[in-house]
Chain A
Amino acid sequence: KNEVEQSPQNLTAQEGEFITINCSYSVGISALHWLQQHPGGGIVSLFMLSSGKKKHGRLIATINIQEKHSSLHITASHPRDSAVYICAVRGNQFYFGTGTSLTVIP
């Protein structure tokens, strides 16, 4: 069973498009994390949130605790946004989704 489900698994977009990646989870959590894994393999943390909405540049993350759902939005997408985006939740341990592979075409 997967405690964290992401959709879509793969996403191709044209430069400039608005992108949404979804994350649903089935456990009680204290926080939800969005991570970015670059083609070279390195992983960086984008957001950590427990309620509401956070914004950093062109990235916006939202969470609905009641519905156990989070979204990551990218506005005005750019080829440099091409990466795998991973949703992780903090329950009694960290649970990770399998990632959404995003390709932004110039």
Chain B
Amino acid sequence: NAGVTQTPKFQVLKTGQSMTLQCAQDMNHNSMYWYRQDPGMGLRLIYYSASEGTTDKGEVPNGYNVSRLNKREFSLRLESAAPSQTSVYFCASSRDRRNEKLFFGSGTQLSVL
């Protein structure tokens, strides 16, 4: 069982470049999330998807877009990267609103120069 698989693990971008972070889960979970983790701050929600076909903004959505491609996959896109988006990104999933034990991917360390 792979759980939540997130790629890439590391990425360096120049300001203005674009990239997509990929996330897939094999636990048949309905809910999926993208968080960013910055020093001295708790995890902050960027976007989430409560079920296949739905996405909603979280606390810090500006500069990001997401796609819930199917039940397994939830991708995060940076269209024009900015230094303020330098962070560690985590994808997570949970079965549904009644059982929200979170399962996390291994994280993506992104640097925008």
Q: In the complex, A99→B40 CA distance in Å?
A: 9
Contact flag A44-B42 (CB < 8 Å), given A93-B58, A93-B59: no
Closest-by-CB residue of B relative to A47 is B101
A25 to chain B, nearest CB (A): 12
Q: How many residues of A contact B (CB 8 A)?
A: 22
Give chain A residues whose Cβ lies under 8 Å from the Cβ of B33.
94
Contact assessment for A96 and B106 in the assembled complex, using a CB-CB cutoff below 8 Å: no
Determine if B74 is an interface residue (Cβ-Cβ < 8 Å).
Answer: no
Chain A at the B interface: mostly helix, strand, loop or mixed? strand
Interface residues on B, range: 20 to 34
Contact flag A41-B106 (CB < 8 Å), given A31-B100, A90-B100: yes
Give chain B residues whose Cβ lies under 8 Å from the Cβ of A45.
101-104
Q: Scoring B residues 56 to 85 as 1 if CB is less than 8 Å from chain A, else 0, what string do you get?
A: 001100000000000000000000000000
A45 to chain B, nearest CB (A): 5
Determine if A52 is an interface residue (Cβ-Cβ < 8 Å).
Answer: no
Give the contacts of A1-54 with B (CB-CB under 8 A): 2, 4, 31, 33, 35, 40-45, 48
Count of CB-CB pairs between chains A and B under 8 Å: 48
Q: In the complex, A45→B43 CA distance in Å?
A: 14
Q: In the complex, A41→B106 CA distance in Å?
A: 7
Contact assessment for B43 and A48 in the assembled complex, using a CB-CB cutoff below 8 Å: no
Contact assessment for B42 and A42 in the assembled complex, using a CB-CB cutoff below 8 Å: no
Contact assessment for B42 and A4 in the assembled complex, using a CB-CB cutoff below 8 Å: yes
Q: Scoring A residues 67 to 106 as 1 if CB is less than 8 Å from chain B, else 0, what string do you get?
A: 0000000000000000000101010011111110000000
- Please give 11 more A-B residue pairs, beta carbons under 8 A apart, in addition to A33-B101, A95-B42, A98-B40: A35-B102, A41-B88, A42-B106, A42-B107, A43-B107, A45-B103, A88-B43, A96-B42, A97-B42, A98-B41, A99-B42
